[in-house]
Structure 1
């Protein structure tokens, strides 16, 4: 364990007494290479180490997709095609059905799969983290998945995104926070928690 990690963990134990927490919202696309890399290599390892007591995490799978309604028919177009639309919906259903620890573990597993929108890989990830693939599948196939996608579209539209992942810290966006979070999410969050403890 490196020195930064030890200092961070000691700080987290001390901060835990005070109940400090950082709100993190990540707006992403399931098949965006930048989103996948951030979730697998930065976000999930840090979240698994620091925990949901310190990181109030919200994942919003939509990104740069568009939704149009013509004659009561909804059409969703995703930047990386229909497979991404499907995977975004799967992620939204997992987030809705399970707690943040399980759903984030599932999403990280899916994002690291060879085929992140393949049902066999997604089912394997659900099994690996101990959640029900059948429950996710039911959500995707019923109107619930579409409702969740529409809600994610509405949340994302408020930000006018031009890049994914977009990382919002405590309700605010800044290029400085974005760059720091993408470069070293764990160190960045530990620094914020240390600042909050001051």
Structure 2
């Protein structure tokens, strides 16, 4: 089966239900842990900080996060932050960015940030951004070509997302995600993806589905 058909088959089972808006008043990470023990909760707070071209980030989104979120969406409060190890600078009031893999990665992060902002739907933006990261159409992914083709697959209008990424709005959104990332980690001293589950640093070496099920006070049938 071709990569295109595999991606189409994968995306066909996705439901889009949860709304999401960037909230600049969000408090810092909420601590749900006591004496290093997991406190059982009804919903898992999952925050994923990443770069769109980071190999580990791509793997985590496609192989762990997407299949788990597809099954457990109702039990996960997911927030994603496309910024990662990016650095930012201001010159005469204008912000500029430097990404580990160059300016095209910065642009890809803007596409992700704009998708989150414009779609205002956690499921839709997560699977759309993962689709772009999958690099089905060649290259490293998260380009205009990926945005357009993923839009066609998912019946999403990619034009506003691309326009946003090429505008001051795209710069403002990436700056916002940089500020949010800096609240929890110094990017220069961390790896990506950097993940917090209920305020506790989560290792991608673990099984995400299993860990979430262990964290829930009343695990749903999906956990069995």
Q: TM-score, normalised by structure 1?
A: 0.81
Q: How many residues align?
A: 172
Contact 1:38 1:182 in 2 (8 A): no
Counterpart for residue 191 of structure 1: 214
Counterpart-to-counterpart distance in 2, 1:50 and 1:73: 41
- 8 Å Cα contact 1:105-1:129 kept in structure 2: no
Provide structure 1 residue ranges, at least 5 long, that are not aligned to the other structure.
1-18
Distance 2:149 2:205 in 1: 28
Question: 2:200 pairs with 162, 169, 173, which one?
Answer: 173
2: CA distance between counterparts of 1:182 and 1:28?
16
1:41 aligns with 2:63: yes
Pairwise CA distance, 1:173: 2.7
**Which residue, out of 97, 100, 107, partners 2:122?**
100
Q: How big is the shift at 1:70?
A: 1.9
Q: Which residue of 2 aligns with 1:21?
A: 43
Q: Which has the higher helix share?
A: 1
Over the aligned positions, Cα root-mean-square deviation in angstroms equals 1.7
Which residue is equivalent to 1:110? 132
SS at match of 2:200: coil
**Deviation digits for residues 39-90 of structure 1 (CA, Å, limit 9, x no counterpart):** 0100011101111x21111010000101111222322000111111010000
Equivalent residue for 2:176, pick from 134, 143, 151:
151
Aligned equivalent of 1:70, options 71, 77, 91: 91
- Runs of 4+ aligned structure 1 residues displaced above 3 Å come to none
Question: Which blocks of at least 5 consecutive residues in structure 2 are unaligned?
Answer: 1-40, 220-224
TM-score relative to the length of structure 2: 0.72
Q: Deviations over 1:86-109 (max 9, x none)?
A: 100000000111111110110111
